[in-house]
Amino acid sequence: MRQVSLLILAVCVAYINATELTFELADNEKQCFYEDLEQGEKFDIDFQVIAGGNYDVDCFVTDPLNNVLYQERKKQYDSFSHTTAMKGVYKVCFSNEFSTFSHKTIYLDFRAGEERPLLPDMNRATSLTQMESACISVHEILKVVSDSQTWYRLREAQDRTRAEDLNVRVFYWSIGETIILFVVSIGQVLMLKSFFNEKKTKVATST
C-alpha cells in the first residue's frame, strides 16, 4: 500500500514548472509577466481571452535583450513555444491599448523546462515492471484529465460571462420597455382626457 502511495505521489510531482492564472486587463492598459530562464530551456505559452469586447488582445514575448520572439495583434487565443538562446529574464506582455472602453479577462498558461522522468530509473535499458507501467499510464491519463479540466473551466467562464452579459441586457431592455409602457399609458390617458375637455368646452359654448 505504501508503494502505491509513493507512486501516486510521483505522478503528482512529475510535472514541469508551470503557472496558470486568469487576470483582468483594463482598457488602454498593458500588463507584463517576467520569468527568469536558463539557456537552452524550453518554454510554452497558451493564452485565451475569456471575456470582454471582441475577445481579442495583443500579445508579444521578448528575450533579455528585448528582441521580439513572438508578436500577434488582436488574437482571441494562441500558443507559442521557444527554446531560450541565453540566460536571463524573458517577458510576456498583453496589451489592450487599442480598446477605449472594454476590459478583457485573459487566461495564461506558462510552462518552462522539460518534464522530469516519472521514475528515477525510467530510462534504463531493462523493461518496466507492471507497477511502473501502470504508474506511467495513470500519469498520462492525469495529464489528459488536467488539460480537459482546463478547457472546461475556460468554456464555463466564457459561457458564464456571456450569460451575465445577456442577463444585464435583458434587464435594461425590460426597464426600457416598462418606461415606454408607462409613457404610452399616460399619453393615452391624457389624450382621452383632452377629448372630453374639448366636448365640455363645445357644450358650454353652445349653451
- Counting beta carbons within 10 angstroms of the beta carbon of residue 47, is it exposed (0 to 12), middle (13 to 18) or buried (19 or more)? buried
Cβ 62 vs Cβ 68: under 8 Å:
yes
Is residue 6 over pLDDT 60? no
Query: Chain-centre distance of CA 203, in angstroms?
Result: 73
Of all residues in the chain, the percent with pLDDT exceeding 70 is 80
CA distance 8 to 14: 10
Residue-wise pLDDT tens digits, 65-122: 999 999 999 988 888 999 999 999 999 999 998 888 888 888 888 888 776 666 555 5
Instruction: Give whole-number Cα distances, 42 to 72, 89, 198, in Å.
Output: 20, 14, 87
Q: What H or E segment, with its residue span, contains residue 109?
A: strand 104-112
Binning pLDDT at 50, 70 and 90, where does residue 10 land? Answer: very low
Cβ 108 vs Cβ 45: under 8 Å:
yes
Cβ 82 vs Cβ 69: under 8 Å:
yes
Q: Where are the domains of the chain?
A: 17-114
CA distance 32 to 111: 16
Q: Three cell numbers at 175?
A: 426597464
17-114 has CATH 2.60.120.380 classification = yes
Averaged pLDDT, 10-29: 70
Cβ 104 vs Cβ 51: under 8 Å:
yes
Residue 95 is predicted with a pLDDT of: 93
Is residue 13 over pLDDT 80? no
Amino acid at 107: Y
31, 19, 35, 15: which is closest to 84 by C-alpha? 35
- Angle formed by the axes of helices 130-206 and 2-13, to 10°? 60
